Amino acid sequence: MKDFIKYTFLTLIFVASLYFGYTLYLSLKLTPSSEEIKFACLTFVSGFTFAILISELTISKLQKVITTYKRELEKESIGGVESFSKVKVLESKIAVLEKALDDALNK
């Protein structure tokens, strides 16, 4: 719902600016020259290209950070599994040694 309101507001601003420009054109007979139109198109295209490049760079950096974070989580989980298995082995060794000690004391 928030996106709908935001885009509706932006559309209204765009339409209002077009209406304002058209009324200026009708009242003052102001028309841009061909050089101004070329400059405006060039500015728009270069700005759009720059925005795409910046967003791609940002996305690639974020993807690298996410992959390194995933690797760290995998290493930690593998380390956790290894330490859990080591604890189990040590507990079984302790149980065997306790049984051997009890057998030795009972003889």
Q: 40 Cβ partners below 8 Å, 6+ apart?
A: 32
Domain ranges of the chain: 1-31, 32-106
- The whole-angstrom separation of Cα 88 and Cα 70 is 27
pTM score, two decimals? 0.43
User: In 30-63, which positions are buried (b, 16+ CB within 10 angstroms) versus exposed (e)?
Assistant: eeeeeeeeeeeeeeeeeeeeeeeeeeeeeeeeee
Cα 67 to chain center, whole Å?
A: 11
> 4-60: per-residue pLDDT in tens?
887 788 888 888 888 887 787 778 776 777 787 788 888 888 988 998 889 888 888
Instruction: Return the pLDDT at 66.
Output: 92
